[in-house]
Structure 1
């Protein structure tokens, strides 16, 4: 794994962000979290144990991205049984939620900024129950031991890094009063190098160590959560917490160039959309093109536009609606969709297709939603672990947008998500708000297999851009032959169905000009897209490679014994 590439961020620390190991590996977006996972691995824990410790560590180091007030898709590959499961801790709508929750008295959509920082936007958190279910099935250590590294870090105090400073400078308007007290003492945002104390979060962790997650779903932490929301006009009740249930799902499976791919299944549309993009690209010989060619950017953009048109129209919670999943991944359907790619110019005819024709199910009405740029700017985190037994965890967890709803539970030190805003604001479609329902997500934790053995696992944060970050990293490895870190650092582009292509500094400007000549529009300035954490397995050499993305203060660590 060489250093002969240009990182996507000037703050890249190659030594911290890459690692090799002979028996185990962990990678996350913050050193506190990776160190927590490493400690558990060194003490004999498995990947499931270490991943839980990492999640608690991220609540300390990346509170604006994730935490116990949010949700996550906790994917586990169990080596002994060769099975892959997703412990789906996605948020659910409270019982009092209804399809018109985000419409005002005139029937118009409440602006995103308002509805995403209001107590009505908070969904029932699920990450704790997902991790606990995985621990009970596969883990080897008690929950209290897995929380301990994060609890100690919270008590010690946390140094603000450049990532948090940038997020605070951009999204401080999202913070509620209690969150401002912690992150903006005296009315001024914390800066890089500042150390701030998290005694309230540490107290919460100690309660969870003593009483288990029941303290959250049935006890004092949950009561404080509901009390906080009630003060702010929320609709969640203690019964919503008590009755919350995770699901244990099969991943969505697909193939790409001889590899088998497992990824997140509905209600996360990320896996299906990513697989659609890869299958569209599989019809082209990408090796003919340079990694910075306009042809590559063209194929990537049109494949994203085609897949995201379907994603927006046909994704939903399979517990509630009939999702045309088989049709969306049907080879004949995708071959027909591939014909929209012409290499001449941006195809204005790109829209959602008719996957229902390939499922035998009844076609449903598609309700188009208004485009809201700020809604696209969600944040999340991804981490991954592989242990000496070959078990793998790939988890994408979130509080949704930066600092979630901005609502911090009084005296308990964690912010609450705003994930109900992932539902369609306009009712009538597959993703309309209903009680107990899960909103559509784009989380894409992914494991790739060759000859039924895992060879690569990865994921990313970034709302809809998650899909773009994951598929581009896969293509960089499998089609362009890049090593893992190089594949992550290759500048990315992103487009869903909106008019603008997001892009990162370092893309080929001549190729960008060629794309513009073909009718594509690019955002005025580049910006970071995603934050991939990944582990690659070289079975011939008996080596694991880990890499963290330079767009945050990520860390990878490998163990040789």
Structure 2
């Protein structure tokens, strides 16, 4: 009898090469839009923002204007790294009593293994919505590090939002898998199931589309009114009115006083590479800890063997134990802070962007705002619902997140960007990919195709079933809880990474999540 997912196929994708710039993302339409920005003279930051804005319209279950994120930027001229922080935060009026613990069990969450809350109030519905920072964050990144005007960078997303969500078998399956929860919220149900049925693809090869409510109008309002219109003015009032009608605690003050920020990254020296990541409240401190442990306890050979994967597992177990016990805005840390999507971008000048954005779970809170078409996040799920802890709910606090957009600078002059989507599975994937690129000098294609494992908050070690049988056997004999799973299209037992590396010569190679039919690396002309 079959008791787990089995996929009898092998998918490969070749790397893409260019000296003019690359965009790697989870959707080909978004990657193409970003590459067009590069071709029009924009830099990597311009292209990353344009790509991300389009992603909010073509894979709305992953990210969008109702979410938040982090962007790590390598500035080639200055040879410096900056981080733009725009994670979500709790409404000022949030209180722990909004999230009473259920009688038993753990949350049905892809974020952290928190105790379950009554009615899953922190996972979907109005009280799961945190204050969104996405529009404020990408606007700040554009102002400080971009070269193009906001109206030009947002134009591709305006067009896609007006066109609607293209439906093929993959997008239809994503929507159908959330049908029960999406149907509980009227505007969401009317949008994604307009005739009361799940969307179907055109069997003749054409593309049906779903009209995304007023999202096209909202993007045009953002284009003409600027990013600040999301946080003050008519658009802000529409957002708050719909949220309050649904029962959210978010107020106009929450939007008006939200601030994105520019910060220095945290870093570590790993072999011959300086690795940079966002600071506290992301998975950055955890990946630094795991890499430091690998430095101390593992000496790489010619290729990753059983000892490498055992070392990965031990480092991840240790880092996650510390992470869940100690990290959060209330914790004393050494630095100052799903469904998600990741973008890697390079330009002809050598600037590199590693950018993660999210609305948290698949379809976020599942609430689509009637007057704006914005699908809101469920960022309150990032908080531990138990009071009095480092990551507990407090009004105005930012929660611990799993995002980890990394940039590495090698001694030979190469610069790479790595990131992923996949909730708590992000950090284990990024950690191993850094090791593949540094310890074994893999090119991006080899790293993207190399089997990985996942250890993300429990003692369970999930191993890609494409790993060598001898290594699988060794891991099964070493660790008490293991399972084999495919790195498949869906469900995703492992994170979905994007990678690129720019050689000192200027030649850049990019790779994207291999099994996805949508993920693509696009090159500038």
Who is 2:315 aligned against? 303
Cα drift, residue 325 of structure 1: 5.0
Cα gap change, 1:133 to 1:39, in 2 (>3 Å): same
**CA deviation after TM superposition for structure 1 residue 31, in Å:** 1.1
2:186 paired residue number:
177
Report the Cα distance in structure 1 between the residues aligned to 2:390 and 2:352, rounded to whole angstroms.
32
Residues 80 and 423 of structure 1: CA distance in aligned 2, closer, same or farther (over 3 Å): same
Bigger Cα displacement from structure 2, 485-494 vs 29-38? 485-494
The separation in 2 between residues aligned to 1:9 and 1:114, in whole angstroms, is 38
CA shift for structure 1 position 400: 0.2
Partner of 1:287: 300
Task: Give the SS at the match of 2:421.
Answer: coil
Identify the residue that residue 107 of structure 2 maps to in structure 1.
Answer: none
Equivalent residue runs for 1:77-96 within 5 Å: 77-96=74-93
Partner of 1:277: 290
Q: Could you say if the C-alpha distance between residues 284 and 106 of structure 1 is closer, same or farther in structure 2, counting changes exceeding 3 Å?
A: closer
For the 8 Å contact 2:70–2:403, the answer to whether it is kept is yes
Answer whether contact 1:174 1:403 (CA < 8 A) is retained.
Answer: no
The 2-side partners of 1:151 and 1:211 are apart by: 13
1:433 and 2:393 correspond? yes
* CA distance in 2 between partners of 1:478 and 1:524 (Å): 26
CA drift at 1:429: 1.5
Are 2:510 and 1:546 aligned?
yes
The residue correspondences of 1:200-349 to structure 2 (distance < 5 A) are 200-268=214-282, 270-288=283-301, 290-291=303-304, 293-317=305-329, 321-325=331-335
1:189 maps to 198
Q: Does 1:534 align with 2:499?
A: yes
**Partners of 2:306 and 2:148 in 1: CA distance:** 51
After superposing on structure 2, the runs of 4+ consecutive aligned residues of structure 1 that deviate more than 6 Å are 105-108
Q: Please tell me whether the aligned partners of residues 147 and 209 of structure 1 are also in contact (alpha carbons under 8 angstroms).
A: yes
C-alpha offsets along residues 100-142 of structure 1, whole Å, 9 cap, x if unaligned? 4312599995247443112111111001111111111122211
CA distance in 2 between counterparts of 1:34 and 1:216 reads 25
Indicate conservation of the 8 Å contact 1:66/1:399, yes or no: yes
**RMSD of aligned Cα (Å):** 2.4
TM-score by length of 2: 0.88
**Pair 1:165–1:300, CA change in 2 (3 A):** farther
Is 1:138 aligned to 2:135, yes or no?
no
Shift of the 232–445 alpha-carbon distance from structure 1 to 2, 3 Å rule, reads same
Alignment match of 2:442 (pick from 463, 482, 491) = 482
Question: 1:558 maps to what in 2?
Answer: 523
2:383 matched residue in structure 1: 423
Gaps of 5+ in 2: 1-6, 105-114, 203-207, 487-491
Residue 362 of structure 1 corresponds to none
Give the distance between the partners of 1:283 and 1:312, measured in 2 at CA: 22
For residues 381-530 of structure 1, the aligned pairs below 5 Å read 381-451=341-411, 453=413, 455-523=415-483, 525-526=485-486, 527-530=492-495
> Counterparts of 1:312 and 1:380 in 2: how far apart (Å)?
20
Q: Would you say the 8 A contact 2:53–2:154 is kept in 1?
A: yes
Q: Is 1:58 equivalent to 2:34 in the alignment?
A: no
User: What is the CA-CA distance between 1:434 and the residue it aligns to?
Assistant: 1.2
Distance 1:505 1:166 in 2: 24
* CA distance in 2: counterparts of 1:466 and 1:430, whole angstroms: 21
Q: Deviations over 1:438-476 (max 9, x none)?
A: 000111101101239452111001111111110111112
Give aligned pairs, total: 495
Mapped to 1, the partners of 2:91 and 2:466 lie a distance apart of: 44
Task: State how far apart, in whole Å, the 1-side matches of 2:313 and 2:55 are.
Answer: 32
Q: Is the 8 A contact 2:242 2:371 kept in 1?
A: no
Q: Which runs of 5+ in 1 are unaligned?
A: 1-7, 327-377
Q: Which residue of 1 aligns with 2:13?
A: 14
SS in 2 for 1:278: helix
Query: Cα distance, 1:170 vs. partner?
Result: 2.8
Q: Give the secondary-structure state (helix, strand or coil) at the position aligned to 1:73.
A: strand
Give the distance between the partners of 2:201 and 2:327, measured in 1 at CA: 40
Deviation at 1:287, TM superposition (A): 3.1
Q: Which segment drifts farther, 223-232 or 397-406?
A: 223-232
Q: CA 1:448–1:169 in structure 2 vs 1: closer, same or farther (change >3 Å)?
A: same
